[in-house]
């Protein structure tokens, strides 16, 4: 999987690149409009992460260029602007997803992952972790042909953990992923705890393995070899 | 105007009457004097409408002025006459002399004056109305249009005011000063707004860097003490992020950047929110009692989303556990009631920015300010009441 990251803020870019490489993607970077333009014209990518405000031009123009060249790449816009018109413009121009800065890297990874799955398998991908089989389309989890009954939130939580496995996922990040960032849930992390514990119990009951570890007060980590 | 004319008419009538009466009297006196002269000369009396009659000496009538009716054979009707009757001694004989003269009935005078004055009044009124209309139309019209404009003026309106030119120098000067004033305030407001929006935007990226670096730190193998610091720093960044987003939203609301209105099924949206938040309420041991009837409103979907989430987040945060939150939606109102202690700040400040209860420092203090701003933008009314230990937030849709 080859990714192109177009973002003008080097510190953020490095962080994104480091995490996505960790997740097994090949990443290329561009920090200006011109550099992004060159790369888009010359090479093919599976997913392009695109910042809108770039030195030398607007990211949306790159998006138009990309569509004109009929490239297959999935496009995820990351913007400092949390505005609906921008989002709609982006999506209308053919972007697949839109995120507002600041974001959690786990969320970025989950979105990239979903995009890759949608693009490459037309959505028919199943994720296998040891004996666990996760079907993101049917939203089901099974262990050796036995379905594990999960609530909608528990399923989303599990998928989030698995996509970001071996990484400490913070409660904030989970809360935003599950409930969106509209709600003020800073003082409601108990709910994250409850969901995580329920999920943990169900998984342990079916597989006998405790994949989800608590990391001090920081969050949780899904570990698998 | 009419009163002045009426008074003028009346006094003219009275003056005229006085004048004519005096004149008639004089004429009659003169006639009587002529008759006396004739009698003195021993001639017979041959005046029209006059008679002299010898009366006994003892008969002495006072000089009398009056009017009478005499049948006019030519016109075949009674005509009014003035008469003067007096007795005079001429050559030791006593005569009673009566002289008469016709007069136009006062009624006729009165009518003539009335009609001519009425005609004048009507004419003046008509001309006045026409003049008024003309001057209103041409002289005052720009003034009133500008006044109307000014009343509707808001520094946050997207377009500068359209002024209507006037041919009156004073109005022109007034308009010029107002133009400068409004444009200056608009410019300053725009600069301020742009600053707020830019500042908020510029903050997003550094916040993103801090957040990602903190995330990175939490991946490292750190001890419990370090972990705590990281968590605290993260929670600070989280709050800052939220506050920044809310400020940006407020700046945009001031900006009136949400013109895309469309019909929205409020009941459905409300139910979505409640479903999405159900486990959050559950986790805090808060039960929800919902009574929603279908309601469709025309609004911006995104803003309505924000409105509902802010109100519900508010209820979630400030309801003591365990408790019950009531949500009801009827044909034009959304009412959310949550139990809780009375406010520890003045009620008027509830919807102001950065107002929050002393015991809850986690909130941004912007949620209800955003609610109010969204309502303002849509012409809705956001109100608050505290009754029987329950805080009621009511949104009245127009």
CB contact under 8 A, A217 and B228: yes
Backbone angles phi and psi of B325, in degrees to 5: -110, 130
Please report whether residue B163 resides in a domain. Answer: no
Domain that holds residue B330: 262-396
Residue A27: the pLDDT is 93
Give the separation between CA B43 and CA B35, rounded to whole angstroms: 9
The whole-angstrom distance between B183's CA and the closest CA on chain A is 28
Identify the CA nearest to B232 among candidates A186, A105, A168: A186
| Number of C-beta neighbours around residue A159 at 10 A | 20
Residue A5: the pLDDT is 94
Share of chain B above pLDDT 70, in %: 94
Q: How confident is the model at residue A194 (pLDDT cuts 50, 70, 90)?
A: confident
Question: Which of these ranges, A64-78, A162-176, B189-203, has the smallest mean pLDDT?
Answer: B189-203
Provide the 3-class DSSP secondary structure of residue B398: coil
Residue B134: the pLDDT is 84
Do both B294 and B242 map to the same domain?
no
Handedness of CA B245, B251, B254, B260 (dihedral sign): negative
Model ipTM value: 0.81
* B71-92 mean pLDDT: 77
pLDDT of residue A82 exceeding 90, the answer is no
More confident residue, B113 or A196: A196
Residue B366: the pLDDT is 84
User: What number does CATH give the domain A2-121?
Assistant: 3.40.50.2300
- The answer, for A190 touching chain B at a CB cutoff of 8 Å, is yes
pLDDT of residue A13 exceeding 70, the answer is yes
Q: How confident is the model at residue B342 (pLDDT cuts 50, 70, 90)?
A: confident
Residue A83: the pLDDT is 65
Residue B121: the pLDDT is 85
Backbone angles phi and psi of A41, in degrees to 5: -70, -40
The mean of the pLDDT values for chain A is 86
CATH class for the domain made up of A127-222: mainly alpha
- The answer, for A82 touching chain B at a CB cutoff of 8 Å, is yes
Give the separation between CA A137 and CA A111, rounded to whole angstroms: 15
Residue A30: the pLDDT is 92
Do both B271 and B388 map to the same domain?
yes
User: What is the torsion angle, in degrees rounded to the nearest 10, for the CA atoms of residue B329, residue B330, residue B334 and residue B336?
Assistant: -60
Q: Which two tokens stand for residue A59?
A: 């990211």
User: What pTM value is reported for the model?
Assistant: 0.66
- The answer, for A18 touching chain B at a CB cutoff of 8 Å, is yes
* B267-276 mean pLDDT: 89
Q: Write down which residue in B198, B230, B254 finishes a domain.
A: B254
**Omega cis (within 30) before A102:** yes
Give the separation between CA B243 and CA B228, rounded to whole angstroms: 23
Do both B298 and B178 map to the same domain?
no
DSSP code per residue over B304-315: HHHHHHHHHHHH
Residue A188: the pLDDT is 62
Do both B95 and B37 map to the same domain?
yes
Q: Which two tokens stand for residue A146?
A: 């036995």
The mean of the pLDDT values for chain B is 83
Work out the angle between the directed axes of helices B266-283 and A189-207 (0-180°, nearest 10): 70
pLDDT of residue B93 exceeding 70, the answer is yes
Highest-scoring range by mean pLDDT, A106-115, B33-42, B230-239: A106-115
Residue A220: the pLDDT is 92
Place of tokens 């409408």: B49
Please report whether residue B285 resides in a domain. Answer: yes
Q: Which two tokens stand for residue A216?
A: 């001090």
Do both B288 and B357 map to the same domain?
yes
Strands of A111-185 (E only): list them: 127-129, 132-135, 140-143, 146-147, 168-170
Residue of B nearest to A13 (CA): B209
* A67-91 mean pLDDT: 81
Which pLDDT tens digit goes with each residue over B281-313? 888 888 999 998 998 998 888 888 889 988 998
Of A12, A172, A188, the CB nearest to B209: A12
Of A102, A172, A194, the CB nearest to B283: A194
Provide the 3-class DSSP secondary structure of residue B149: helix
pLDDT of residue A4 exceeding 90, the answer is yes
The whole-angstrom distance between A70's CA and the closest CA on chain B is 31
CB contact under 8 A, A82 and B248: yes
Share of chain A above pLDDT 90, in %: 28
Residues 109-168 in A contacting B (C-alpha not used; CB under 8 Å) = 153, 167-168
Please report whether residue B130 resides in a domain. Answer: no
Which pLDDT tens digit goes with each residue over A95-133? 899 988 888 888 999 999 888 888 776 656 788 888 888
Q: Write down which residue in B61, B79, B103 finishes a domain.
A: B103
Q: How confident is the model at residue B329 (pLDDT cuts 50, 70, 90)?
A: very high
């Amino acid at each position: 999987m080859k990714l192109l990251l177009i973002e003008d803020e080097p510190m953020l870019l490095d962080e994104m690149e480091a995490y996505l490489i960790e997740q097994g993607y090949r990443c290329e970077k561009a920090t200006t409009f011109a550099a992004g333009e060159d790369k888009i014209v010359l090479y093919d990518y599976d997913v392009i992460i695109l910042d809108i405000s770039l030195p030398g031009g607007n990211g949306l123009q790159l998006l138009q260029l990309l569509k004109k060249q009929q490239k297959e790449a999935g496009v995820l816009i990351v913007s400092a602007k949390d505005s609906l018109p921008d989002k709609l413009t982006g999506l209308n121009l053919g972007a697949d997803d839109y995120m507002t800065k600041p974001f959690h890297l786990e969320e970025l990874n989950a979105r990239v992952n979903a995009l890759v799955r949608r693009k490459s398998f037309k959505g028919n991908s199943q994720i296998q972790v040891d004996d666990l089989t996760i079907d993101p389309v049917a939203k089901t989890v099974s262990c050796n042909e036995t379905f594990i009954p999960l609530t909608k939130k528990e399923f989303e939580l599990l998928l989030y953990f698995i996509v970001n496995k071996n990484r400490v996922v913070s409660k904030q990040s989970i809360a935003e992923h599950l409930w969106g960032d509209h709600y003020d849930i800073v003082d409601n992390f108990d709910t994250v705890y409850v969901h995580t514990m329920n999920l943990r119990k169900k998984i342990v009951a079916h597989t006998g393995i405790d994949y989800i570890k608590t990391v001090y007060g920081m969050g949780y980590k899904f570990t698998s070899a | 105007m009419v009163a002045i004319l009426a008074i003028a008419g009346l006094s003219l009538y009275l003056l005229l009457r006085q004048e004519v009466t005096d004149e008639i009297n004089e004429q009659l006196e003169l006639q009587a004097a002529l008759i006396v002269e004739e009698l003195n000369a021993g001639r017979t009396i041959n005046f029209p409408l006059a008679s002299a009659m010898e009366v006994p000496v003892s008969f002495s009538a006072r000089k009398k002025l009056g009017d009478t009716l005499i049948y006019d054979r030519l016109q075949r009707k009674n005509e009014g006459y003035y008469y003067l009757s007096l007795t005079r001694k001429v050559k030791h004989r006593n005569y009673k002399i009566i002289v008469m003269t016709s007069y136009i009935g006062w009624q006729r005078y009165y009518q003539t004056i009335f009609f001519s004055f009425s005609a004048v009044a009507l004419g003046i009124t008509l001309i006045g109305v026409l003049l008024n209309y003309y001057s209103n139309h041409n002289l005052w019209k720009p003034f009133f249009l500008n006044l109307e404009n000014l009343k509707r003026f808001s520094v946050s309106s997207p377009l500068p005011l359209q002024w209507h030119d006037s041919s009156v120098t004073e109005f022109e000067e007034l308009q010029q000063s107002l133009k400068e004033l409004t444009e200056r305030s608009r410019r300053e407001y725009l600069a301020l707004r742009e600053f707020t929006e830019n500042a908020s935007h510029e903050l997003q990226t550094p916040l993103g860097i801090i957040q990602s670096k903190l995330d990175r730190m939490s991946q490292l193998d750190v001890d419990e003490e370090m972990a705590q610091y990281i968590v605290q720093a993260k929670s600070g960044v989280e709050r800052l992020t939220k506050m920044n987003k809310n400020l940006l939203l407020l700046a945009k609301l001031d900006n009136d950047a949400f013109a895309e209105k469309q019909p929205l099924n409020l009941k459905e949206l409300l139910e979505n929110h409640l479903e999405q938040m159900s486990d959050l309420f559950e986790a805090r041991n808060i039960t929800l009692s919902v009574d929603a009837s279908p309601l469709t409103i025309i609004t911006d979907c995104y803003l309505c989303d924000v409105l509902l989430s802010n109100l519900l987040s508010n209820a979630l945060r400030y309801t003591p556990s365990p408790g019950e939150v009531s949500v009801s939606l009827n044909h034009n109102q959304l009412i959310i009631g949550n139990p809780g202690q009375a406010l520890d700040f003045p009620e008027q400040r509830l919807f102001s920015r950065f107002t929050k209860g002393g015991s809850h420092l986690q909130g941004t203090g912007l949620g209800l300010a955003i609610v109010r701003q969204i309502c303002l933008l849509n012409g809705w009314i956001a109100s608050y009441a505290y009754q029987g230990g329950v805080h009621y937030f009511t949104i009245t849709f127009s």
